[in-house]
Amino acid sequence: MKEQTKILHSIPADALTGAISTPIYQTSTYVQEAPGINKGYDYSRTNNPTRAALEQLIAELEGGSNGFAFASGLAAIDAVIKLLSAGDEIVAVNDIYGGAFRLFTHIYRKLGITVHYADTTDATNVAAAITPKTKLIWIETPTNPTLKISDIRAIAKTAKAASCLVCVDNTFASPAAQKPIELGADLVVHSATKYLAGHSDVIAGLVVTRTKELGEKIKFIQNASGAILGPFDSWLTIRGIETLPLRVAQHSRNSQAIADFLTTQGFVNNVYYPGLATHPNHAIARQQQKYFGGVVSFDLRIDETAVATQLVQSTRYFKLAESLGGVKSLLCLPCEMTHKSIPAAIRRQSGVSDSLIRLSVGLEDADDLIEDLSTAIKKTARNFAILV
């Protein structure tokens, strides 16, 4: 069975009514026949049929043994870090999602977990950062917003040799484009808020484990800490996933067209998209991804925030907002928005220049999106009296 068919048919019709859409079991508790005798459900923090359907679906889609749904992507990340104990260390991608950095720095450091950051685009840097205390390697690929790619297979091999777990934040690629467990990862996390749910209408997180043993540990943490996803948001996420491969294919086609267009613009300096042959990690992206994804970043010849600010306010279809992965196109200015809390010198060092703009390319017609960007670029150039 091919993937799109599997997604649509892996959740059976409701046994009770035949409902083809997974029912939303909006209930906290379940009536028991006798103390401890129930139908497999006793309390919705522990288990809920709508959430269970989503958890089964994401486990299948990522090729893992178990899936778990959380109240946000960060709650999912938090559950994975709770596998560790005080004194343990993590080696993490230096270009990490800001919320994960904040969690590691302001919550887990004081609980005795230390994180070492490395440029994971070269697996030998991961090996060099591992100490006898390292228990977990944390990578994101592609990264936000400069779309650096790490070789999951090579890093998993390195981690295995050092008896460390590997967790991949697969938010940017989604399982339609990349399956980290098949490449050797032990755990996958998602901000399902982005491509999986796909419509900018829910905050959700997911964890998938390679093995049943790890699955039991995450299940314990999920129930013990309690940051579960509610039934309605589970239903919305299932509904989003049903069209995931179609959406990711189109997000990627649109993104490639836009990246190609941006490279022709004299006003634009760097274009970051793994699908461009000039991207430094293009070869590995080709190897491990089926699609290059829906995020394109670029910066300007005149590397000034004022110029970029004008540009992001001049588009018609690309709406100025944080987040990504939805059907409607968004754009943001990381230095003033998502990456504002990072000191400017460190931010610039990781490639996020003062004029860097991140596009979340939606499912509008690519011609309209290109025209939108072209008009905004011309208008901004005119206002700043720059020759395009």
Mind telling me the catalytic residues? 45, 97, 169, 194
Q: How far is the CB of 101 from ligand PLP (least distance, A)?
A: 10
Give the separation between CA 191 and CA 242, rounded to whole angstroms. Answer: 17
Identify the sign of the CA torsion 187, 49, 323, 110: negative
If one asks whether residue 169 binds ligand PLP (CB under 6 A), the answer comes out as yes
Residue with the CB atom nearest ligand PLP in the bound state: 73
Q: How far is the CB of 73 from ligand PLP (least distance, A)?
A: 2
Q: How far is the CB of 170 from ligand PLP (least distance, A)?
A: 9
Of 23-31, 169-177, 308-316, 347-355, the window that binds ligand PLP (rule: CB under 6 A) is: 169-177
User: In terms of CB distance, is 184 or 334 closer to ligand PLP?
Assistant: 334
Q: How many helices (H) and strands (E) would you count in the chain?
A: 13, 12
- Amino acid identity of residue 74, one-letter, is L
If one asks whether residue 97 binds ligand PLP (CB under 6 A), the answer comes out as yes
User: In terms of CB distance, is 140 or 299 closer to ligand PLP?
Assistant: 140
How many chain residues bind ligand PLP (CB under 6 A)?
15
Q: How far is the CB of 243 from ligand PLP (least distance, A)?
A: 19
Residue bearing tokens 């939108």 = 372
Longest dimension (CA), the chain: 79
Q: How far is the CB of 339 from ligand PLP (least distance, A)?
A: 12
Can you tell me which of 49, 64, 67, 73 binds ligand PLP, judged by CB under 6 A? 73
Of 84-92, 191-199, 290-298, 375-383, the window that binds ligand PLP (rule: CB under 6 A) is: 191-199
Beta strands in the chain (DSSP E): 66-70, 89-93, 114-118, 134-140, 165-169, 187-191, 205-209, 268-272, 295-300, 319-320, 330-332, 357-360
Can you tell me which of 191, 237, 315, 380 binds ligand PLP, judged by CB under 6 A? 191
If one asks whether residue 72 binds ligand PLP (CB under 6 A), the answer comes out as yes
- CB of 192 closer than 8 Å to CB of 206: yes
101-119 in b/e form (b: 16+ CB < 10 A) is bebbeeebeeeebebbbbe
If one asks whether residue 99 binds ligand PLP (CB under 6 A), the answer comes out as yes
**Bridge partners of 150?**
none
Of 42, 16, 46, the closest CA to residue 29 belongs to: 42
Q: Cα dihedral angle (79, 83, 89, 93), rounded to 10 degrees?
A: -40
Q: How far is the CB of 196 from ligand PLP (least distance, A)?
A: 10
Give the separation between CA 205 and CA 326, rounded to whole angstroms. Answer: 15
If one asks whether residue 98 binds ligand PLP (CB under 6 A), the answer comes out as no
Per-residue mark of binding to ligand PLP, 192-231 (x: CB under 6 A): -xx--------x-x--------------------------
Can you tell me which of 144, 234, 254, 270 binds ligand PLP, judged by CB under 6 A? 144
Applying the rule CB under 6 A, the residues between 313 and 352 that interact with ligand PLP are: none
Q: At what angle do helices 212-225 and 73-81 cross, to 10 degrees?
A: 110
Footprint on this chain of ligand PLP (rule: CB under 6 A): 72-74, 97, 99, 140, 144, 169, 171-172, 191, 193-194, 203, 205
